[in-house]
Chain A
């Protein structure tokens, strides 16, 4: 776990309101059930050749409302199977954000982050502290996430979690809701 808790990589910087149609168009995602095939169409709306340019361990930093629009889980799956290690954004669209935890793709909300990072900057995402260290050495805390969700992400998503626990992480919440 410790060795995987700090992700260092070069950054792809994306603007505000990158929707799931841009991340993977319907006509491709609705014609395969293979995540490796889905990754060939990652970020197709911006660059149909993105899959040739991305390198294992790369990171995403985006503006507000990353992943808006369609509920398609193929969007975070295409990013994960492009071997992008984590997605950091000013904010995420609701369903995309849930999907990231469900498939075990680290997703951190860090207000202001898109102004702190330039294309291909080397940055560090710390999954232990839930923070991002930019090139200038500054550490930016991500918005807090309930522990049951971080645990789900650490274990690799719902499939891995269910295999290990024969249940779902939120089942422990029943009748004792988390209150802010």
Chain B
């Protein structure tokens, strides 16, 4: 393939410059990968949502509780398969910098509605049986070196006081998008204690999780649930799990917009770096292109040559960048406070986008040199001293 050889030799002509350009592209691809991964990590909750689950929470905001008595009423609605509930416990574990979800749930039904949390059968049985036990995610167990039988002490804020639990279960995440850093304990345990410490607050749940048999009916059933409690002291707002998670993402909207904007800035920078290189090469080779033309090379040949070189550099840079992206993102994940992003993966779509943008840049960056090579008259070219 003589043409390819020519392209290759051209690129090698200025080894240093070519290497620098490739590194420049690689770096930009890495940054792009990081930004997008952060953005997707932010919406991890949305991705993990199940189409057949609804979340019903207090209409004012999720910091207000719902009565326990709502459960039976919700369960009676046609189309509702199962209902469970949970309270956000919050509190402090070790110190205020340990971020992970700590929730009081209905031990009997919680894991049935969340099949993506895989708990070994025997551990689940023990958990259901022992009122002061808890189940933690595999990543959490790893982070704090927790084994079955270990104690966990929480310092409550919303529910003041010292709380002790025994780890009886460690769940594995079924999907890549499942959060493996959550902690669950018995709602009954919470409620009993509150009945003693602060009776008016007892008998309340944070939110209900409703599994429906037909996802298409999610809208109708949500309305039906809300209608049940309209005009009561605690009105509900029911929506699909996806919409619920989406709400959280949306509130950080400004930051996400900023990051998406930065992704474009990066592409701009790659474009500048590669474009700069191509322009310089084009200038040096003006005379050479003229000579090619006199030898009978057509415009098509020239375009192919320039484009080929540009794409080769972009491809190498993109490839190198993607290769280095994984360890780089791992380094970032290590620096960010633990628990900030419970789920932090490099998605395939990110890889594809990063690679494509490198190629796109190669194409765009060769426009100016191509235009110059085609536009320069042979005589002018021959006269040119690069």
Asked if A pairs with B, the answer is no
- A residues with a Cβ closer than 8 A to B are none
**Chain B residues with a Cβ under 8 A of chain A:** none
